Every structure is written in structure tokens, then in C-alpha cells.
Amino acid sequence: MNGERILLGDIARKLGGAVVGDSAAEVTRPASPTGARAGDICAVWEVRDFEKIRVGVHVLASPDAFASRPELTGISVDDPRAAFPALLSLFQPVRKGRGVHPSAVISPLAALSPDAWIGPLCVVEDGAVIGEGVRLRANVFVGEGCVLGAGTVVEPGAVLLEKVRTGQNCLIHGGAVLGSDGFGILPAGEVSGPVKIPQLGGVVLGDEVEIGACTTVDRGTLDDTVVGDFTKVDDHVHIAHNTVIGKNCIVVAMTGIAGSAVLEDNVIMAARSGVKDHTRIGRGATVAANAGAIKDVPPGAVVSGFPARDHRENFRVQAAQQRLPELLLRVRKLEQAVFPSDEKLPDRKQGGEGH
């Protein structure tokens, strides 16, 4: 629908909603409640946001919201928050085009779909397969033996080294590096320095996987590093060699996943969290921000802290730590009551509290 007149009725049909008002009203753009102007449309599910809606602004809201506010116009859906991404997608720019830019360097041994677009300064090496509708926007490197599934988009500056294979409709953001050597090192011996272990595996992405900007995914030593279908990885994440990540996972910025770790389906790794090597995070578990999982996490658990433990237990530990100054003062008073001033107090370490 991008680039065309978008009518309220058209949006309602796409979202499976019902029009409240004039179905022929033209919608200019989606907007936030605070910045919307007449003709815009806002997705609203918080009660306080309805007060910010100006006259002439359409809303994507629940039937209850329209029933309680008869002055509103827009589209009624059961769950406006769930419909919000689909609304935005109707206004997302659609990039068209096929072929190869004159500045791109393509190996004669690569296989390119005629529907793909290879942008300026891209490099595609021997044996690479570029599927139908793939877009390499600009300055993208695709190494030997890579296979990019239909509809995959690779943003400018991304690097896909050898043996990177993606499913359909993946999105790889700028600056991401997939398929670089895993960090396999034998420590230095008495007479030799550290020894690098060759990394012979690859990287496999499922369908509709998203890899954020400046994220790195290392190839495996023998087996592949795997990221499952529909998993979304944020910017500045490191996924080490031999890691296996399941379906529908969310990995937030600055997370580090060490070698041979396993994340089962539907795991959430919050910002700046980490997983030790050879550790398994169970299905549906959440590792909270700044947490470090150094042992297996059960399915469905929520863990926080370092080392990561049950979230409620960690809160109790933190609460107790906040009371340490008060508790130390109480201990000092008890010592003074038990030991008169002419008796020697029990020895304390130099520099300790109360010394």
C-alpha cells in the first residue's frame, strides 16, 4: 500500500478490524498520540493516551474504547497493541528493483536469482547462492558457499563469511559479521604460545531471523552455529561458536552467549545478560538485564543477578544487602553490651568494619 492513497477502510480490511466513522477517509501516516495531526492514525491501548488525541486524528483502539468515547473515529480491533506492527508495515517504504549494480563484483561461479538486487560495491564470492527477492543494499560481502534464502535483506556494510546460510525473509542489519572464526584457543603451554583451533563449521539462520547492527555470530568448530526461526537479535550482541538458539527467542543488546551454549525456544535474554559456555537455558526462561547464567536455567524460570539465581530470591538478597549498614551497627551495639569496656573484644581483621 506504500506510495498510494491509504483509506481508513483499506486499513481496516488489512487488519481485520471494523471502521468507526467514514471508511473513505484518507489516512496520512501513523503517529504517536502526542505528535499526531488531523488525518493521522494512532494505535492507543493506554487509557491516559486517549486524552492526548486531537480533533481529526483517527485511532486504532478496542471496541470498549470506542463505546466509552463516541467522539472517536478510526478502526476497532480486539487487541490494538497486537495490531500495531501490522499497521506500521502498511506505511513502511517498499524498495523495488532487481539486477546487479555496475560497481558490484560477482563471481561467475555464484548463482543469482534474476529477482535479486545486488547493490553498489557488493562482493559475492564463488559458490554463493542468492535467492529470489534477496536484497544486498550496498557494500555487502558474501563469502564462499553462502546461501541467502528468498526475501532476505542485508543492510549496508554487513559481512557474511563462508558457509553462512539463511532461511527466508531474514534481515541482517548494517555492520553485522556472520561466520567469522569462533574463538577456539588452546592455552599456552610451558614452551609454546596459545594455539588456534581451526573453525570448520558454518552459521545457519532459520526463517525470519533478524540480526542487529554490529552483532557478531561466529561459525562453529565442526558443527554449525544455529539461530532458529523467528528469533530476533538486537544490536551489539555476540553469539559464540557452536551456540544453538531455538525458535522465537529475543536477545537484547550487549548480550554475550559463550561457546556451545544452548537457548531453547522462546527464551528472552535481556540487555547486557550473559550465558556461560556449555550452559542450557530452558524453554521460555528469561535471563534479566545484567544477569550472568553460569549454570543451567530451568524451563520457564526468571533469573537475575550474578551468578544468576531465581529472580525473587535475588531480590531478597539485594534487600538484605541494603540493610547491611543497619545490621552492622546493631552487631556493634550488641558487642558493646556483651563485652564491658575493660574486656577485650573478639579479634577483627585489619580494616574491617568497626576496627
Active site residues: 241
Q: In the chain, how long is the greatest CA-to-CA distance?
A: 95
What sign has the CA pseudo-torsion 37, 43, 49, 51?
A: positive
Give the residue from 148, 253, 157, 256 showing the smallest Cα distance to 207: 148
Contact of 260 with 243, CB cutoff 8 Å? yes
Residues 6+ apart with CB under 8 A from 55: 38
Number of Cα atoms under 13 Å in the Cβ half of residue 334: 7
**Angle 306-254-31 (CA atoms, 0-180°, nearest 5)?**
125
For 114, counting Cβ atoms within 10 Å of its Cβ (0-12 exposed, 13-18 middle, 19+ buried), the class is: exposed
Residue showing cell 577485650: 344
Cα 253 off chain centre by:
7
